[in-house]
Amino acid sequence: MPEVDLLTLADAGAFVSREHQAHLDAMGIRDVQVDAAASTCTFTDAQGTRRTVRAHLIGTSSPTDGTWLWAWRNVNGFPQPFVRQSERVRALGERYAVAEFTSASLPLGEALPQTLIDAVKAVTGVTAHRAVPTGNGETRAWLLLDDPSLALPAPTVARAVGVVTSALAGGGATDHRRALTAWAEQRGATLSRVDDDVAELALTDGSLQVRFDGAGRISGLGRRLRSTPGRTPSPAPQPPPIPPEPTPSPAAVDRAPVRADPVAPPRRGLLQRLLGR
């Protein structure tokens, strides 16, 4: 069975996580409100449209206490639908001995919340998130956001270039090959090996070659191959990297009474596919 640990899972979720957060950033999210009883997050987008999407509480980070607390610990008595994805993460951690998923609290390092949320995205298949203030000092609640209206556009060459250049900027993954392989599978693209140092992504509007260095990290882009017959291949564009995580708008997590609304069945995550399950 392939090795399963936190960094492996975080790599598997890293690229699609950065892409999805850039997508949310472009939506201009503001005026965020969370309703724990309904398991929803409501916000206003750049066009002034008020949207409500399903929200799943994964955990909270408290710089004051120096801890991360998983939502499955549920010290506030939130309704089960609101913490069910977190409970699913704990069950998976127990099955595959991922210690970080089964310890109710963890020492809070600067990179820990993002590492955990990337790993959670890989195993749940929900790849958009928001970190919102809780009203308790610097503590933030980390939520997965799940709604068809938040779905990513088709995986084009330009979007793949954005993902790759983000990696070139130095963020998002420790193993670029593993992260790019996972991104291709999550996005329905095809990644094929050209030689030991080059892989090619087949995308909806063409293809892109990616070069790796001796350490397996992305070192640059090859030529762009257009899918249009008779057109001469042109060099891949080089847009700026995907921007960092946006600063959340002020919001407080509502601690309303328990409501027994069911949630949709969890979708099959990347881990099960990686393990052939």
Average pLDDT over residues 125-132: 96
Confidence (pLDDT) at 252 = 41
Alpha carbons 130 and 41: distance in angstroms, whole number: 9
65, 67, 72, 75: CA torsion to nearest 10? -10
- Split at pLDDT 50, 70, 90, the class of 271 is low
Q: Which two tokens stand for residue 30?
A: 């503001």
- Split at pLDDT 50, 70, 90, the class of 276 is very low
Whether the per-residue pLDDT at 123 is higher than 50: the answer is yes
Share of the chain above pLDDT 90, in %: 68
Q: Which two tokens stand for residue 224?
A: 């762009």
Alpha carbons 160 and 20: distance in angstroms, whole number: 12
How many beta carbons lie within 10 A of that of residue 4, not counting itself?
17
| Tens of pLDDT, residues 145-191 | 999 999 999 999 999 998 888 777 766 788 999 999 999 999 999 99
Share of the chain above pLDDT 70, in %: 78
Q: What are the backbone dihedrals phi and psi of residue 82, each rounded to the nearest 5 degrees, phi first?
A: -75, -25
Of the listed ranges 105-109, 215-219, 235-239, the one predicted with least confidence: 235-239
Confidence (pLDDT) at 224 = 62
As a whole number, the mean pLDDT across the chain is 83
User: Can you give the residue ranges of every domain in the chain?
Assistant: 6-152+249-263, 157-235
Q: What is the DSSP string of the chain?
A: -----HHHHHHHHHHHHHHHHHHHHHTT-EEEEEETTTTEEEEE-TTS-EEEEEEEEEEEEETTTTEEEEGGG-TT---HHHHHHHHHHHHHHHHHT-HHHH-SEEE--TTHHHHHHHHHHHHH---EEEEEE-SSTT-EEEEEEE-GGGPPPP--HHHHHHHHHHHHTT-S-S-HHHHHHHHHHHHT-EEEEEETTEEEEEETTEEEEEEE-TTS-EEEEEEEEE-STTPPPEEPP-PPPPPPPPPPPP--EE-PPP-----PPPPPPHHHHHTT-
Whether the per-residue pLDDT at 14 is higher than 70: the answer is yes
Q: Is 190 exposed, middle or buried (0-12, 13-18, 19+ CB in 10 A)?
A: exposed
| Tens of pLDDT, residues 59-112 | 999 999 999 999 999 999 999 999 999 999 999 999 999 999 999 999 999 999
- 48 and 129 in contact (C-beta within 8 Å)? no
